[in-house]
Amino acid sequence: MPLSDIKIKSLKPGIKPDGSTTSKTYKVTDERGLYIEVTPKGGKRWRFKYRFEGKEKLLSVGIYPDISLKAARARREELRTQVAEGIDPSDVRKAEKISQAGMESFEFVAREWHSKHKHNWSESHLTRTLARLEKNVFPWLGKKNINEIKASELLAVLRRIENRGALETAHRTNQVCGQIFRYAIATGRAERDIAADLKGALPPAKVNHHASVTEPEKIGELIRAIHQYSGHFTTACALKLAPLVFVRPGELRNAEWAEFDLTKAEWRIPARKMKMKTVHVVPLSKQAITVLNELKPLTGSGKYLFPSNRTRTRPMSNNTINAALRRLGYSKDEMTGHGFRSMASTILNEQGWNRDAIERQLAHSERDGVRAAYNYAEYLSERMEMMQHWANYLDDLSTKENTTQTIKMS
């Protein structure tokens, strides 16, 4: 039932309307997303719950009785109107707070810079980048004029991150801040990039390489184990395909049937899915085609090659491959889903294949972004040969108990 002033006044801390007791904050619903919370100390605060772009969100509406029931409902309707118009009320709230500090505050410039990348960054990267700023930078530098921030002030922020043992995060935060300062320079709101002054101020971060099997004999053992995997069939197919294509784990689990041309033996991953935002072509070996043909009767009528076990409308979990490797007996220090890339890179380089062709197949960064956008098919004929050789090599290793490395024939 909707709330009334009499009912709100009767709400007591620790005693719910149904008579049950609690030592925690409890809520009583009004209607259309509005409810009131009663704290253990007797405070009463309004909340509005809504969904935006499929996500449930929560917004504070004020404290009762400062905000009456009538005023809270009026505010709720304003917020519902924003949602109906495609506007996220939480974004409006943030913008209102930022505007108090001015358009030249660090937070205002940072959010503006962040919004410029909404169409060329992945959703996960956008979320991760903004969360890092909101947690580590905005509380201390957000309201400051970006042109007045000193290198020592930014260093103090980075030291806080370092002191909690997150040295790599401190380095990444400084890199992001550098991009924001350079954007501020380009838009006339700052004169220099103070993040660049901090080069060498932080100790170097340790590089954690993804665990991988790179010895031929052990690779053969791994491939044999993969072919004996007895778990879910789609997971088994993903495991078989992973070493044959050696793409990033996220690219594999998000693979869609529409991206594959089995006649041309080609998997074309769209730019929006790639880390470097350029189209990536993966030549498919005969062995990869065999795996895909085995999988297609099961998942070919849907969107994803490897749908979640719970719903076919979403891809498998990002931990599925690693969990399967653990089931096969490989610890996280021995082999990971990302390790198939290191495996292929190590062996193919040792075998004498063109390093540039290998790097292109790994879809590593291209310094010239424009050049990368137009050269996704670079070395394609050589890469087709290399990928078939690699699949044959893995077959050879898996059928021999003791193997020696096959050298590329010129």
| pLDDT for position 124 | 74
pLDDT on residue 371: 42
- Let me know if 374 is a catalytic residue: yes
pLDDT recorded at residue 277: 73
**CATH level 2 (architecture), domain 102-198:** Orthogonal Bundle (1.10)
Task: Give the pLDDT band (50/70/90) at residue 282.
Answer: very high
Residue range 56-85: average pLDDT?
A: 94
Residue-wise pLDDT for 301-312, tens only, equals: 999 999 998 888
Q: Which of 224, 232, 275, 389 is catalytic?
A: 275
Is 102-198 the same fold as 5-89?
no
Of 362, 363, 376, 392, which Cα lies nearest the Cα of 290? 392
> Does residue 189 have an active-site annotation?
no
The tokens describing 24, both together, are: 């925690």
pLDDT at residue 370, rounded to an integer: 40
Domain ranges across the chain? 5-89, 102-198, 216-398
Beta-carbon contacts of 2 under 8 Å, excluding residues fewer than 6 positions away, are 30, 31
List pLDDT tens digits, range 209-251: 678 999 999 999 999 999 999 999 999 999 999 999 999 999 9
Catalytic residue from among 51, 135, 286, 364: 364
144-193 tens-digit pLDDT: 999 999 999 999 999 999 999 889 899 999 999 999 999 999 999 999 99
Amino acid identity at 210: H
Query: Is there a catalytic annotation at residue 364?
Result: yes
Q: What is the mean pLDDT of the chain?
A: 89
Q: Is the pLDDT of residue 206 over 70?
A: no
Catalytic pick from 73, 189, 248, 360? 248
- Lowest mean pLDDT, pick from 54-68, 110-124, 280-294, 329-343: 110-124
Mean local confidence (pLDDT), 123-141: 90
In this predicted structure, the answer to whether residue 375 has a pLDDT above a threshold of 90 is no
The pLDDT value given to residue 3? 94
- Confidence tier at 401 by pLDDT (50, 70, 90): low
Report the percent of the chain where pLDDT is more than 90. 74
Hey, which CATH number is domain 5-89, 3.40.640.10, 3.30.160.390, 3.50.90.10, 3.40.80.10?
A: 3.30.160.390
Q: Is 27 a catalytic residue?
A: no
Active-site residue (options: 73, 280, 341, 383): 341
Q: Model confidence at 368, in pLDDT bands (50, 70, 90)?
A: very low
pLDDT at 209: 61
The winner for highest mean pLDDT among 129-138, 274-283, 400-409 is 129-138
For residue 336, pLDDT over 90 is answered with: yes
What six digits make up the tokens of 26? 């409890």
406 pLDDT higher than 60? no
Q: Taking the CA atoms of the chain, what radius of gyration do you get in angstroms?
A: 27
Paired tokens of 322: 């690693």
The catalytic position among 12, 135, 314, 374 is: 374
- Proportion of the chain above pLDDT 70, given as a percent: 92
Render pLDDT for 86-106 as a digit per residue (tens, 0 to 9).
888 988 887 776 665 577 899
Check 338, 360, 376, 383 and give the catalytic one.
338
Confidence of residue 409 (pLDDT cuts 50, 70, 90): very low
> Furthest-apart CA pair in the chain: how many Å?
89
64 part of the active site: no
Please say if 275 is a catalytic residue.
Answer: yes
Q: 216-398 adopts what CATH topology?
A: hpI Integrase; Chain A (1.10.443)
**pTM over cut 0.85:** no
pLDDT at 29 over 80: yes
